[in-house]
Amino acid sequence: MDPDIRSIRRILPLVFLTFIWGPVATENDRDFKMCGTWKHGNVSQQLSLDLKTGCDKVIISANKSTLSIQGRITAQCTKSEVRPLNSSQVPSHFCVFWEPILDSLVLELDNVTITLCDSYGIQTNCCTDLSSGSQSKSQDKYGIANGSIHGDLISGNLMSVYEFRGDTINCKEEFCDKATHESRGANMIEDAVMRSKSVGSVDLPCAQSVVLEMKEDFEGVNVTLPAPKSVPKNTIPQLYLPACLKPSKPQTAKVVCTYYKNSNLFQGPLKVLDDVVGISVENEIITNLPEPVKIKFLHSDILENQTAKCVSWDTRRDKKIKWRLEGCQTVHISSKETECFCNHLTYFAILVQVNPTRKLQHLKALTFITAVGCAVSLVSCAVLFVSLCRKRRAKDQSSLVHRGLVVALFFLCLFFILTGSIANLGQETLCQFVGALLHYSLLSTLCWMAVEVFHTFWMIFLVFSPSPKPLIWYLLGFGLPALPVIVLASIGNVYGERMVMPSDDVSKPYRMCWMTESHNALLAHFVINVGLLVAVISSGCVMLFLVVRKIHNRDEWRRNHVAFLSIWGLSCLFGTTWMLIFIEHLSESVVFFFCIINSLQGFFLMLRFYALEQIRKKSKLITDGSSTGSTRQHMLQVQENS
């Protein structure tokens, strides 16, 4: 696991350089985008503007020499003018962008950007949801061709007038609602604040920002973040921005500090406290600061059995956003104060986790032991499967049942060995698929143990009853486990990357492809996994007791080594060794014992098979009897030899 973790840690700083807070909005951030081809004459062109406040409609029209934009859609911008255009192309391509949250109107004509209404700050009420209204066809060869909205064609005909009507809404609330449903919603908020031309406090329902200007004489500053009225001031995080934060160019740079009281915008595999602080500098990616940024979080009591760590919001190679532990140093001031010293800019929060139980105090050793044991069992299962195939008889179902368990155990060990490496690849879809396969292998292994229990009961107590057909065993062992896996996969958010945090160093988690920590996944784990495990272990214990009681007086069983091998082998077959999982919290040694004996389960099955095979060859052959007792004895002997 260590090489994979080290490679991820080397890659993360490089990936962080691509996490850009651009000053120019992408097209997806534009509320309105109307484009077309202006077919004009080979004469001087001009732009006619007539913009007024309100929310009625905007009309975009064109003729031989004039491109006109007029109507009532702005909150504060009022313009009425005619300006010349320097376009030498015939025809000319243009786009009109309207961003109501900023009260900004922009025209792009032949790749030249013309600001018609500059930002008037973040608007509360605005005119948005512009939709197509009436249109007028051109009466000559001049006008607008191929008019479109957000790339969707409105009309391929040559039109002289396009009309768009809007509605008045609470722009801040709609903007926040949209941001909460976007994977980069926090970026959208910070980007809008940066481009709003505001200086000082900017208030939104979902976040509160303060915009500062860093001039040439900037020497560092303590920042008081704004907060909602419902939040006490003595719980607001405190910031210190060092002097090295100011870039060399330009002479004056803007920095935006944003306070998020709700962490719903930041959904990742790790859960953090509600308070999140975002810091960004205009047109800059800030990393490797010689003097760190300081963020002091004031929170509720951190209990003795909890650990608080500073984390930052980052993205991986597959663009999956997550909280990471690198780049920040955590200083515990008190149980209610934690300070973060971070050498880069992004979003910061406090990760609070309950200290892991003893089984995670030696995660590295336990992972190594389990991996080695699974590798040994993997080889043992392959060897045992070949041996069972060579010894199978036409009417002997014991070999068939044993082979089913061996195959299921083989794939369980295989996928467990691969799960850590695949999780570190960062391929989410592949990790979900492997997690589902690992879950299926576990359920299949438990189901085949249940089949072993049922088959043994049938051979001992239902000697004269016809045995179920082999197809029944296969359906129970391989078919039945597929049903819950298919259902859970169709639900979604059940399989994926899972991180196990060691108590000694939470910065080096063990990643695996398994069931996530979502509500549906946890419910499925306790109902399906734990429920099936309890059923198998309880029935296995009962059957182990009945089998030992039934045949303990046989001469072969009076030999200690035979009895030990048989009981141990039956314990592995019936899954009773898994009962240690319910008592592993009692002792750290039990945890290691559980990992050793269950990861080596395939090896113990192979060892038992060959040991009993050698004993059987040295023993007298038991001939078939005609009585019920001798028949039962023969069936038991077949079971033991298998």
Say whether pLDDT at 166 is over 50.
yes
As a whole number of angstroms, the distance between CA 315 and CA 17 comes to 10
Instruction: Check residue 339 and give its pLDDT.
Output: 93
> Looking at residues 440-469, what average pLDDT do you find?
79
> Looking at residues 359-388, what average pLDDT do you find?
84
Residues in the chain: 642
Say whether pLDDT at 540 is over 90.
no
Please identify which residue in the block is written with the tokens 């405190």: 238
Question: Are the CB atoms for 445 and 480 separated by under 8 Å?
Answer: no
Instruction: Check residue 107 and give its pLDDT.
Output: 94
Domains of the chain: 31-174 (no CATH), 198-355 (2.60.220.50), 362-641 (1.20.1070.10)
Four-point Cα dihedral 636, 639, 640, 642, nearest 10: 160
Q: Which region among 89-93, 245-249, 286-290, 636-640 has the lowest average model confidence (pLDDT)?
A: 636-640
Question: Are the CB atoms for 307 and 352 separated by under 8 Å?
Answer: yes
Instruction: Check residue 186 and give its pLDDT.
Output: 86
Q: pLDDT band for position 623 (50/70/90)?
A: very low
Where b means 16+ CB within 10 Å and e means fewer, 618-640 reads eeeeeeeeeeeeeebbeebbbbb
Question: Are the CB atoms for 14 and 40 separated by under 8 Å?
Answer: no
Cα 291 from chain centroid (whole Å): 32
Q: Is the peptide bond between 292 and the residue preceding it cis, with omega within 30 degrees of 0? A: no
The token pair at 296 is 């002091």
Instruction: Check residue 436 and give its pLDDT.
Output: 94
As a whole number of angstroms, the distance between CA 103 and CA 127 comes to 9
Q: Which of 554, 540, 541, 537 is nearest to 635 (CA)?
A: 554
Q: Which region among 86-95, 111-120, 203-212, 217-226 has the lowest average model confidence (pLDDT)?
A: 86-95
**In the chain, what percentage of residues exceed pLDDT 90?**
32
The counts of H helices and E strands in the chain are 14, 26
As a whole number of angstroms, the distance between CA 217 and CA 209 comes to 23
As a whole number of angstroms, the distance between CA 517 and CA 503 comes to 18
Q: pLDDT band for position 467 (50/70/90)?
A: low
As a whole number of angstroms, the distance between CA 480 and CA 169 comes to 54
Q: Which of 434, 270, 237 is nearest to 342 (CA)?
A: 237
Say whether pLDDT at 280 is over 60.
yes
**In the chain, what percentage of residues exceed pLDDT 70?**
78
Question: Are the CB atoms for 278 and 263 separated by under 8 Å?
Answer: no
Q: Which region among 256-270, 396-410, 486-500, 605-619 has the lowest average model confidence (pLDDT)?
A: 605-619
> Looking at residues 374-401, what average pLDDT do you find?
79
Cβ neighbors of 461 (< 8 A, separation 6 or more) are none
Instruction: Check residue 341 and give its pLDDT.
Output: 95
Coil/strand/helix, residue 383: helix
> Looking at residues 186-206, what average pLDDT do you find?
89
Q: Which of 412, 384, 383 is nearest to 399 (CA)?
A: 384
Cβ neighbors of 518 (< 8 A, separation 6 or more) are 493, 494
Coil/strand/helix, residue 142: coil
Coil/strand/helix, residue 16: helix
CA distances from residue 389 to 409, 444, 451 in whole angstroms, order as listed: 16, 20, 19
Say whether pLDDT at 88 is over 50.
yes
Return the amino acid letter for 444.
S
Instruction: Check residue 13 and give its pLDDT.
Output: 33
Whether pTM exceeds 0.85: no
Instruction: Check residue 559 and give its pLDDT.
Output: 55
Other CB atoms within 10 A of residue 106 CB: 18
Strands (E), 243-327: 253-260, 276-281, 293-298, 306-315, 321-324
Instruction: Check residue 450 and give its pLDDT.
Output: 85
Q: Name the phi and psi angles at 41, rounded to 5.
A: -85, 170
Say whether pLDDT at 394 is over 60.
no
The token pair at 595 is 């990992």
Alpha helices per DSSP H over 245-396: 363-391
Q: pLDDT band for position 585 (50/70/90)?
A: low
Other CB atoms within 10 A of residue 352 CB: 17
